[in-house]
Structure 1
Amino acid sequence: MSESFPRLHARTRRFTLGVPRGFTIAPGGDRIVFLRTKGGFDPVTCLWEYDVLSGTERLIADPRALAADEENLPPEERARRERSREQAGGIVGYSTDSAVTVATFALSGGLYVVDLKTRHVRRLKTPGAVIDPRMSPTGVHVGYVTGGAFHIQDLEDEVDHALARPESPEVTYGLAEFVAAEEMDRMRGYWWSPSGDAILVERADDAPVQRWHIADPANPARPATEQRYPSAGTANAGVELFVLTLGGARVPVPFDDEYLVNAAWDAHGLSIVTMTRDQRTMRLLAVDPATGTSTVVREDTDPAWVDIVTGVPGHLSDGSLVWAATSEGGHRLIVGDSPVTPPTLQVREILDIDGETVLFRASGEPTEIAVWAYRRGQITLVSPTEGGVYSGHTAGGTLVITGQTLDSEGSVTRVLHNGTPRGHITSHAERYRYDLRVSLIRTGERDLATAVLLPTDHVPGSAKLPVLVDPYGGPHAQRVLAAAGAHLTSQWFADQGFAVVVADGRGTPGRGPEFERAVLHDLATPVLEDQIDALHGAAARFPDDLDLSRVGIRGWSFGGYLAALAVLRRPDVFHAAVAGAPVTDWRLYDTCYTERYLGHPDEGHYESSSLFADAEKLDRPLLLIHGLADDNVVAAHTLRLSSALLAGGRPHTVLPLSGVTHMTPQEIVAENLLLLQVDFLKKALS
C-alpha cells in the first residue's frame, strides 16, 4: 500500500530532500560543487561535484562515511538552521576558496576540509564545537566560530589562532545576531578580504536584549532555555565591526545606524550597508580597512521603509556599483547610478555578479519568478520562456538554472556552458504521486492573484463544496505561484472534500512597492479585506462549486494570525479557523520585522492589528496550534490569546506541541497535524 500524502509530505520534508542546491561554479566554468541528499527520504546532505563538459557527477563527502552524530549539534548551529529554515541534516552548508579547489564544512560541531580534486577529507582539531567555517579566498586558512570566539586555522601546519575572544557570555564574534538572521536574510557575521590576509568581523553584544525563557512543560525536570529576544520597542543587540588581520591588528569600523544589513569585500574594496532603526534610511558605505574610516557612497530613503535586497552590494569588473532600489514605482536593478530595469519588472534578488554580467531574479507577472541577465546595458531573459519559478547561478561562462512550473513535477536543474546545454544535475526527490487541479485566476477590484483548487474527482456543478481559504497573506511570502510544489498541501485539502482558495493580497511581494506598502501601520484590515475579496471573486468564477455558507480558513505564522483574525472580525464570512503558530500581539514579535510595518509601539499603531480586543467576540470554532519550543513566534502568543478568550467566556481549542519549533520538522507531528486539521474543519463546517 502506498504512503498517504501527509506521510509522504512529512518524510520528504515537503519534497525538498534529494533536490540539488547550494551551487558553487568554478571560475573556469568547468565544475559545479553542490549539495544534495542521496534520496527523497534521505535527510543526510552530501557534498557533490558536477563535471560540466562530461556531464558526470562525483560524490565528494558523505557524512555517514565520516561517522557524524547529528544528535549532538551545538546549540548555535541548531539556531542557525532554525533561522534559515533548514530541514535536512549532514553537510547543510560549505565554503570554498576562490579557485574552488578546496572546501570546508562543519559536521556535528567538527571542522572538516576536503580537497575537491582528490576527495581527501580531513578533520581539523579545534578547541570546541565549530560554527560557520569559511575558507579564505586563497585557500590557505579557514575561519570559524567556537564558544563565541572567532578563530582561524592555517591549513598547512594546522596551527589555530583566536583572533577575537568574547569579553562576556553575552558577546560573540563572527556570528549574525538574531534579527539579522531572522529578518534580514544575513546568516553570516564575518567576511574575508580578497587577499585572505584580513577579515571583517561582527561583534554582537546581547547584553542589552531582554531575557525570555522557553520552557519544556512536558519535561518539568528540564530547565528552561534562556533566550535573548528583541521584541518590538525594546533594545536590539549591540553590533560593532572590526577588521582583524592575521598579524593580530584590530581596526574598529564605526557606523551610526541601528542595523548592519550586509557587508561585501571584493577587488574594488570593502563595503557595508547600514539601516536606521525606523528602516526609512539605508546607507552604503565604502570602508578603508586600514583605518576603519568610511564614506557614504549611496543613501536611499523611503517614507514607509527601504527594502532589503539579497545579493548587494557588488561591482562589475570595471568597478561599477551593482545595487537594487525602489525607483518610479518599481523594485529595480541599479548599475552605477542608473536603473537598468523597467519599473514594471520587479527585481527580487541579485544572484551572481560575474565580470560584466549580473544575474538576477525578477517578476513581470507576479505569479512567476524568472532569471534575467544584465550585460553592457541590456537585460536578457535566461530562464525558460515557460512561466514558472526559477533561480540560478553563473560563473566562467557556465549557467545553472533551477526551477519548476505548474505542469511539471519537481524541480529541474539545467546546466549551460557558453549558451550550449550541458545536461541536467539529477534530482533524487520523491515524486508527488499527486494530480493537481489548480486554476490561477485574478479576483476583486485589485486584480488579486488567486488559486482555486478543486478535488481531482469533482465534477463541475455536481455539488457545492465547503470552502477552505488557505493563505499566508503577509509580507515576504507568496502562495500563488506558477509552480506545482506551491500547491501540493492545498490540493490534498481539496481532495478531502473542500474547494480551496489561496490568495496573495496587499502586503505580499511580486506586485511592486505600492502594493506591498498598503499594510503600513495596519497589518489587519488590508490583508483581511483582500482575502474576502478573493473568496467572493472565486465564488463568482465557480458559482456552482463553492458553498459560501461553509467557509473555513487555515494558516501558519502570519497565516495563522490571519486565520484567527478572520473568525474574530468577520464571522459573517468565515465559519471556522485553524491558526498555527499565530502572532496574536505584535508587541511580542521582533523589532526588525514588526517596526518596519507598525513603527515603534509608542506611535499607537499596534492595537488595531492585535487580536486581544476582539477575543470576546469569538463565536466560531477556533483551533490554535503552537509548538512550545518555538523561539520565533513564541508560545506566549497562543497562550495569551487563549487566556483572553477564556476570560471572555469564548470556547476554543488549543493544541500544544511539545518540543516542536516554528518549522514542525518531526515526521509524525507534521503528518498528524494535517489529519487533525481536516478532522476539525470537517466537523466545524458540517
Structure 2
Amino acid sequence: MTKIELPLKNYYLMKRVYIIIFCIITSFVGVCQQKVTVEQIFTGAFRPKLMDELQSLKNTNQYTVLNNGSSKGSQQIDLYDFATLNKVATLLSTENFKELSSGIDSYIFDKAEKQILIASNSNQIFRHSFTADYYLYNTVSKTLTKLFEQVQEPTFSPDGTKVAFAKENNLFVYDITTSKTTQITTDGKKNAVINGITDWVYEEEFAFVRAFEWSTDSKKIGYIKFDESNVPEFSMNIFQKELYPKVETFKYPKAGEKNSVVSLHVFDVNTALTKTVNLSNYNDFYIARIKWTNDANIFSAQVLNRHQDNLDLLFVDATTATAKVVLNEKDKAYVEVTDNLTFLKDNSFIWTSEKDGYNHIYLYDKTGKLKNQITKGGWEVTTYYGFDEKNKMVYYQSVERGSIQRDIYKISIDGKNKTLLSKELGTHEATLSPDFGYFIDKFQNAKTAPSFFLKSTKDGSQIKAILDNKVLENKLANYNLPAKEFFELTTEKGNTLNAWIMKPKDFDTSKKYPVLMYQYSGPGSQQVANDWLDANDYWFIMLAQQGYITVCVDGRGTGYKGAAFKKCTQKELGKYEVEDQIDAAKAISNYPYVDKSRIGIFGWSFGGFMASNCILKGADVFKTAIAVAPVTNWRFYDSIYTERYMQTPQENASGYDDNSPINHVNKLKGNFLLIHGTADDNVHVQNSMQMIEALVQANKQFDWAIYPDKNHGIYGGYTRIQLFNKMTNFIKEKL
C-alpha cells in the first residue's frame, strides 16, 4: 500500500474537522469540556475586569477610577462625569512623573478635591495596616511633591492646609504651606506605646487602623493611645534563607489575657497642648470607634466593656475633655460595633442596630433620644450608603428579597416611601453620585460576572452600561461550567439552612458520586450567596470536572438571617456549627446519587477549625477532611474575637474545652490533612503544632504540611499553586 502524503496545511485542517466532529458526537457526555487547572486559577486566567479604586467625589457630580495608562506598566487617575459617563480628564498619569515608577497603590482627595495624597511603594504590616511613601499632587498646578517615606495613614485636615500622619508609633502634623512638621506625641515605642494607630488585635477584630480624627474646623485632633506594655508577647521565627532565623515579636492578647490599656486624647493644633479625656468610669474596656460630630468641639467614641455586651456612644467635649453617654445598647450575647454613624446638620444622627432582632437603621436626635426606626422587618440591612439631606432619603443595601441576595433601596427618613432600586436577583452594590441623582450599580450573581451600570436613583432605571465581563463569560463557555444550584437544606433536627450544590456537567442520577463539603461557619459569615465565582469556586469546578460533587451549607451562627440565628452559638463556638455540618452531611448522604462512604469536608481558618472537629466528632460520617490554618483551641486565639463569642476561658472553661479538636483526637478514623504557615500572625502555627502533638500521642496517622514564612493567607510565588495541587491530590487519593 502506498502512503499518501498530505500537505501539512491540509493535514491540520482535516485534523481540526475530525476534532470538531468528535466533540459534537461526544459533547453529550462532556468529553470536550475544557479543563480548569490550579495553575489557571491562581495566575489570573479567570480574573474579571473591575473599576479599580472607584471613588465618588463630593463637590462635583463626578467619580474617579484608577486605570492602566497608555504605556506598559503606567497608571492614571481618570475623572468621569456621572450623568454622561464621559471621561472629563486624566487628573494624573504616572507616565509624567518618574517618581511614581513603583505605581499608585491608593489615593486620597482633600475635602476641596484639589489635592491628592498618593501612596506608592507600600509595605504590608498586618491584614489592613501598611506603610508607604506618599506624594502630594496639586490638581490645579499639576505639581507632585514627595512628602513622606514609609508612614501610616496620612489624612488631610478638612481645610486642606495640613496632613496628620503616624510614624514609628507617634503622631505628627505636616503643614503644607510652610512644609513644617510638628510632632504631637513622643512616647511611642514598639511593643510598648502606640499613638493614633490601633494595636494588632484592634486592627484584626475591630477592622480599623487609623485611630485619630480631625475636628471639622481643622483645629483639633482626637486620638486613641494604646499602652500595650503589659500585653503578653508572641514570637515567630522568620526563616528566609539566612544561616540563623530571626525572631519577630509582637504583642498579642490571647483570650483571658491582658489587653492594651487605652486612653482618649485631644490635641490642639494652635496651642500644641494635649488633653486626656476623663474615662475613669470605665475599666478594662475598648474604644472601638471615634468620629468627630458636625460640632467642632464635640467628637464621639464607641466604648465597649470587655464582654462586648454593653456599648456606650459617648459625646466628648474637646474643650473640657469630659464625656457623656448619649446612647447605650445592651445585648445578652454581644453588641455589634457600627460604621454607619452619620451626623446630620443639627447633630442628630443615623445609627444601625440589631436591637429588634435584625440589623436596621435608626434616627436619633442630638441628645440620643430616638426619633424613629427608619427600616424594619424580618430582614437585615447589610450596607448603609448615605443620606440625601435635600430630599430626606436614606440609601442602603439589604437582604429583603432573600438572605443570599443583595438589593439596593431608598427610603424616606421618616420610614416611608421605600423603593427597590435593583431588579435582577443577585448581589447589587451601589456607588452613589454626590447629588444622589445617580448610582453605579455593580451587579453579579452565580451566572453573571461583575457588571457595572449607571442607574437613576429615582426608580432604579438603567441609563447606560459601563463595563461588563462578556469576554470572560464567553471564555468560560468553552469550559461548559457546572451550575451552582441554590437550595434550602432541612436537617433531621428541623434546622433549615441555606446551601448550594455543584455537580459534574455530565451528572448521571444513576451513578454514585463522592461529595466534598466546603464551609467557613464563623459568626455572622456567609458562604452561600448569589454572587460570582471566586478562586475556591473554580477549584470546586475543577473537582466537578473530575467527578466530585461539592456542597456548601451555612449552618447556625452564620449571618443575615437575624440576630437569634447568628447568636445561638454564644459561649459554645463549634458545637451547633459542627452539629449542623454533620447533620447536613447525613441528609446529603441519603441523596440517591451520593456515595455515603465518600463524604469529605474542607475549610480554612474558622472553617479549618470546623473541618477538624467534623472529621473527629463526625468520624462515622466524614471519610476525609482538609483543615487549613485552623484554630484548634480557642484559648490560643485573640481576646477581642474569642471573648465576644465565648467570654474568657476563666469564665467558660467547658465552652473552650468541649469544642476543641485537640480534645477529640482519639476519635479520628478517616483521612486528615492539616496545613499551616509558620508566619501566621493571626491563627498562630502553635494551633497546628499542638494538634499534631496530640494526634501523635494518640497514635493516629494523618498528613500535614507546613509552609515556611507564610502568613494566614499562605500565598506568594508558586505557594497557592503547590498548596491547591496538594489538596487536589489528597482528595483524589483519599476521597
Matches within 5 A, 1:233-252: 233-247=256-270, 248-252=272-276
Query: Using a 3 Å threshold, how does the CA distance of structure 1 residues 431 and 663 change in structure 2: closer, same or farther?
Result: farther
Q: Distance in 2 between matches of 1:45 and 1:606?
A: 50
Which runs of 5 or more residues in structure 1 are unaligned? 71-89
Q: Distance in 1 between matches of 2:466 and 2:321?
A: 44
1:504 aligns to what?
Answer: 554
2:367 aligns to what?
Answer: none
* 2:289 paired with 1:262: yes
2:503 aligns to what?
Answer: 454
Shift of 1:527: 0.6
Shift of 1:343: 3.3
2:337 aligns to what?
Answer: 308
The worse-fitting range, judged by mean Cα deviation, of 156-165 and 565-574 is 156-165
The worse-fitting range, judged by mean Cα deviation, of 315-324 and 144-153 is 315-324
Query: Using a 3 Å threshold, how does the CA distance of structure 1 residues 263 and 425 change in structure 2: closer, same or farther?
Result: farther
Task: Tell me the amino acid that sits aligned with residue 472 of structure 2.
Answer: R
Give aligned-pair identity as a percent.
Answer: 23
The worse-fitting range, judged by mean Cα deviation, of 6-15 and 328-337 is 6-15
Task: Work out the number of aligned pairs and report it.
Answer: 657
* 2:377 paired with 1:343: yes
Aligned Cα root-mean-square deviation (Å)? 2.8
User: Given the two structures, how large is their TM-score scaled by the length of structure 1?
Assistant: 0.89
The worse-fitting range, judged by mean Cα deviation, of 344-353 and 293-302 is 344-353
Match of 2:410 among 357, 360, 373: 373
Q: Is 2:374–2:413's contact at 8 Å kept on the other side of the alignment?
A: no
Matches within 5 A, 1:543-582: 543-582=591-630
Which runs of 5 or more residues in structure 2 are unaligned? 1-32, 122-131, 365-369
CA offsets per residue over residues 134-161 of structure 1, 9 Å max, x none? Answer: 1222211112111212112122232222
Q: Distance in 1 between matches of 2:558 and 2:457?
A: 35
Q: Secondary structure at the match of 2:422?
A: coil
Matches within 5 A, 1:635-650: 635-650=685-700
2:635 aligns to what?
Answer: 587
Q: Distance in 1 between matches of 2:634 and 2:74?
A: 37
User: Given the two structures, how large is their TM-score scaled by the length of structure 2?
Assistant: 0.83
Shift of 1:192: 1.3
Query: Using a 3 Å threshold, how does the CA distance of structure 1 residues 318 and 385 change in structure 2: closer, same or farther?
Result: farther
Match of 2:441 among 383, 395, 401: 401
The worse-fitting range, judged by mean Cα deviation, of 19-28 and 507-516 is 19-28
* 2:146 paired with 1:123: yes
* 2:304 paired with 1:275: yes
2:79 aligns to what?
Answer: 49
* 2:134 paired with 1:103: no
Q: Secondary structure at the match of 1:554?
A: strand
Query: Using a 3 Å threshold, how does the CA distance of structure 1 residues 379 and 184 change in structure 2: closer, same or farther?
Result: farther
Greater RCO (CA < 8 Å, at least 6 residues apart) = 1
Q: Is 2:451–2:467's contact at 8 Å kept on the other side of the alignment?
A: no
* 2:362 paired with 1:334: yes
Task: Tell me the amino acid that sits aligned with residue 156 of structure 1.
Answer: T
Shift of 1:20: 2.2
CA offsets per residue over residues 366-393 of structure 1, 9 Å max, x none? Answer: 1112233333323634542212223223
Q: Secondary structure at the match of 1:440?
A: strand
Matches within 5 A, 1:467-486: 467-486=515-534
Q: Secondary structure at the match of 1:431?
A: helix
1:431 aligns to what?
Answer: 472
Shift of 1:425: 4.9
Q: Distance in 2 between matches of 1:197 and 1:385?
A: 46
CA offsets per residue over residues 426-482 of structure 1, 9 Å max, x none? Answer: 4789836443411100011222000000123x2331422100001111113211001
Shift of 1:484: 2.0
The worse-fitting range, judged by mean Cα deviation, of 648-657 and 196-205 is 196-205
Shift of 1:314: 1.4
Q: Distance in 2 between matches of 1:683 and 1:46?
A: 49
Match of 2:353 among 298, 322, 325: 325
Q: Is 1:578–1:677's contact at 8 Å kept on the other side of the alignment?
A: yes
Q: Is 2:443–2:452's contact at 8 Å kept on the other side of the alignment?
A: yes
Query: Higher Cα Rg: structure 1 or 2?
Result: 2
Query: Using a 3 Å threshold, how does the CA distance of structure 1 residues 34 and 133 change in structure 2: closer, same or farther?
Result: farther
Task: Tell me the amino acid that sits aligned with residue 496 of structure 2.
Answer: D
CA offsets per residue over residues 524-581 of structure 1, 9 Å max, x none? Answer: 22111211333344455xx343222101111100111111111111111110111000
* 2:650 paired with 1:602: yes
Q: Is 1:443–1:533's contact at 8 Å kept on the other side of the alignment?
A: no
Q: Distance in 1 between matches of 2:50 and 2:278?
A: 42
The worse-fitting range, judged by mean Cα deviation, of 672-681 and 26-35 is 26-35
Shift of 1:417: 7.1
1:10 aligns to what?
Answer: 42
Shift of 1:595: 0.5
2:27 aligns to what?
Answer: none
1:360 aligns to what?
Answer: 396
Q: Is 1:404–1:412's contact at 8 Å kept on the other side of the alignment?
A: no
Query: Using a 3 Å threshold, how does the CA distance of structure 1 residues 11 and 196 change in structure 2: closer, same or farther?
Result: farther
Q: Secondary structure at the match of 2:450?
A: coil
Q: Distance in 2 between matches of 1:120 and 1:430?
A: 39
1:200 aligns to what?
Answer: 222
Q: Distance in 2 between matches of 1:562 and 1:478?
A: 15
Q: Distance in 2 between matches of 1:299 and 1:551?
A: 47
CA offsets per residue over residues 258-284 of structure 1, 9 Å max, x none? Answer: 111112113244111111100110111
* 2:320 paired with 1:291: yes
Matches within 5 A, 1:178-189: 178-189=200-211
Shift of 1:116: 4.0
1:386 aligns to what?
Answer: 424
